[in-house]
Chains A and B, each alone.
Chain A
Amino acid sequence: AQRVTQPEKLLSVFKGAPVELKCNYSYSGSPELFWYVQYSRQRLQLLLRHISRESIKGFTADLNKGETSFHLKKPFAQEEDSAMYYCALGSSNTGKLIFGQGTTLQVKP
C-alpha cells in the first residue's frame, strides 16, 4: 500500500536558519515523490518533484530509497516560506497520489 508520513505537524524556525521538513514513504513499487505547498489564502501548488532534481525557491529534496525518505531542505529560511507543506507519493501503476499529513512551517523574524 502507498503511505506517506510527515512526523512533524509544526516546524518553527527563525529567519536565516536551516530548514528540514521530513517525509518518509512506504511503497513497494517505483515511487514518484513530490512536495506541494499551500501558502495562506492560496491554492495548493507543486513545489518540486524528485525526478526533476531542481531547486525551487532555494528548496531541494533528495529521494533516498534506502531510507525511504524524501526530506525537503533549505539552507536559509525566509519569512515568505511560511506555509503548509505536503509530501506526496504517486504511482502510475495505481493511478493514485497520496499525501502526508502536512507540516506547517513557521519562519519567525
Chain B
Amino acid sequence: NAGVTQTPKFQVLKTGQSMTLQCAQDMNHEYMSWYRQDPGMGLRLIHYSVGAGITDQGEVPNGYNVSRSTTEDFPLRLLSAAPSQTSVYFCASSYGLAPDTQYFGPGTRLTVL
C-alpha cells in the first residue's frame, strides 16, 4: 500500500493563478481532510469529507474548493492564489470519522509570490 500520496511536493505560483493539489489514498478510507500548516498556527482544517460526494468546511475554507467524486481522491483547488496561501498543505485520511486514527500524506509546500 502506498498509503496517502500527495502531488506535487513543491509548487511556486504567482498571485492570481489557480492550481489543484492532488491527494489519493489506497486504504479504502471514508474520511479525508486537508490541513494547512503555518508557523505558530499549527495545523488548521481547510475542508473535509466523510465519504464520496460529501464535503464540508473546516476552520479556514475561504479561497479553497474541494470535491470527492471517488473514495480514493480528494483534490484541493486554489481558485485564485494569494500570498496568504503560502503554506505547507497536508492531506489525511482515516477509516472512520475524525476520532479515528489519521494517516497523513507527506505534504505539499506551496509558495505564492
Contacts and interface: CB of A to CB of B under 8 A. Distances in A.
Interface in B51-109: 56, 58-59, 90, 92, 96-102, 104-107
B29 interface: no
Interface residues of B, number: 27
A99 B33 CA distance: 13
A86 B104 contact: no
A95 B56 contact: yes
B98 A91 contact: yes
A90 B42 contact: no
Interface string A20-57: 00000000000010001000000111100100000000
B106 A43 contact: yes
A36 B99 CA distance: 13
Contact of B98 (A43, A97, A100): A97
B39 to A, nearest CB: 9
Contact of B101 (A46, A101, A102): A46
A9 B40 CA distance: 7
Contacts of B31: 95
A60 interface: no
Contacts, number: 60
A98 B33 contact: no
| Contact-residue bracket for chain A | 20 to 34
B43 interface: yes
B99 A98 contact: no
Interface in B12-65: 31, 33, 35, 40-45, 48, 50, 56, 58-59
Interface of B: 31, 33, 35, 40-45, 48, 50, 56, 58-59, 90, 92, 96-102, 104-107
19 contacts: A6-B42, A9-B40, A43-B105, A43-B106, A43-B107, A44-B90, A44-B92, A49-B101, A90-B100, A92-B97, A92-B98, A95-B50, A95-B56, A96-B58, A97-B98, A97-B99, A98-B45, A99-B43, A99-B44
Interface of A: 6, 9, 32, 36, 43-46, 49, 86, 88, 90-92, 94-102
